[in-house]
Structure 1
Amino acid sequence: MSPKIHLAQQPEADEILDRSPLALLTGMLLDQQVPMEWAFTGPYTIAQRLGRDDLDAHEIASYDPDAFAALLSEKPAVHRYPASMAKRIQQLCQYLVDEYDGDPTALWRDVSTGKELLAGLQALPGFGKQKAQIFLALLGKQSGVRPEGWREAAGPYGEQGAYRSAADITGPESLAKVRAHKQEMKRAAKAAK
């Protein structure tokens, strides 16, 4: 069975994103200053280097920081800034361990509104409002996590038929549409200056 999530654009990497909420959160955390596919392949690469089929928040949070940074720095590096991102991933995992006993699904399992879920996502280390809204839209659009008002809480990323972010990517065609939208936004921002 092929994965329903296609953010890494590689079946093995997408499969871990599909079945592991921590992998999906980690991919979202890595999705900055690198191509999206590179970011969302990161969780698979990390799991492989740890010798695991999945990521575990307890294991990552307690991993020696220098060794974890070295793990992410191995060629090919998991991110353009592997040491910095290693620290952020460990902070995210430590937060999940402290607040949710390492279970990321606890973030959304019992929430009743999109606003409540957005607040929980924004509390995560490395997740500002925009990243939290994109992840909320991703959960709603692709994982069936849809508390009342989730689209509104996700802002423009929750709009149906929009091609603004990772939340809208279901394959190569939608990836091209999202890239085109982002390029248009950059052009508009440049023209406004």
Structure 2
Amino acid sequence: MPTIPPIDYGDLQGGLVRMMERYQDEGTLTGDADEDDAIRADANAALLGLLYDQRVRAEYAFTGPLRLKERLGHLDMATIAAMDFDEFQPIFAEKPAVHRFTNKMAENTQKVAKMIAEEYDGDAANMWNDGADINTIEKRIKKLPGFGKGKASKIKYVLHYFGQRDFS
């Protein structure tokens, strides 16, 4: 398990804060080190986890992409974007559901996947691994369906704590 230096998250509230505090106390964000590692290994999972961080427990939101990946066998954005919604949605809704709002979040997942596939070569890491500063990254994130100012402001912490980009 990697040691991630803490960064100040005093301006945040909610489940993501609870996850970061758990990391400081126990060394795991989600409560499961293997799940943390799986999210760290896949930038698309980290991004989708932030997408799902809405009206569900944060740990459940961030592990949602892992449930989706287990069912599909991948998190290939082009493939997800190209799937027929009527075939994708039942996979998304299968219990335990990827997210409680199975229709809207399945729809947003496919929309985000399409943008990542078309604009970032299928890899969410390309949104932040080009040396862009945090303001530029937040602007890119806000262009994605389902991401507003609030979620975009959390990307710094998601990237940092899930090992995608060091902001210490």
- TM-score after normalising by structure 2: 0.77
Choose the corresponding residue for 1:127, options 140, 147, 160.
147
Choose the corresponding residue for 2:64, options 24, 28, 42.
42
> Is the CA contact 1:60–1:93 (under 8 Å) kept in the aligned structure 2?
yes
**Could you give the per-residue CA deviations for residues 146-184 of structure 1, whole angstroms, max 9, x where no partner exists?**
5xxx6xxxxxxxxx8xxxxxxxxxxxxxxxxxxxxxxxx
The CA distance in 2 between the partners of 1:120 and 1:42, in whole Å, is 22
Which runs of 5 or more structure 2 residues have no equivalent in the other structure?
5-22
State the number of aligned residues: 146
* 2:86 aligned counterpart, secondary structure: helix
Report matched runs for 1:3-152 at 5 Å.
6-50=28-72, 52=73, 54-143=74-163, 145-146=165-166
> Is the CA contact 2:46–2:62 (under 8 Å) kept in the aligned structure 1?
yes
> Is the CA contact 2:77–2:122 (under 8 Å) kept in the aligned structure 1?
yes
Which runs of 5 or more structure 1 residues have no equivalent in the other structure?
151-159, 161-193
The CA distance in 2 between the partners of 1:3 and 1:14, in whole Å, is 12
* Identical aligned residues as a percent: 35
The CA distance in 1 between the partners of 2:65 and 2:92, in whole Å, is 10
Q: Which has the larger radius of gyration?
A: 1
The CA distance in 2 between the partners of 1:75 and 1:127, in whole Å, is 25
The CA distance in 2 between the partners of 1:108 and 1:117, in whole Å, is 6
> Is the CA contact 1:3–1:11 (under 8 Å) kept in the aligned structure 2?
no
What's the C-alpha RMSD, in Å, of the aligned pairs?
2.3
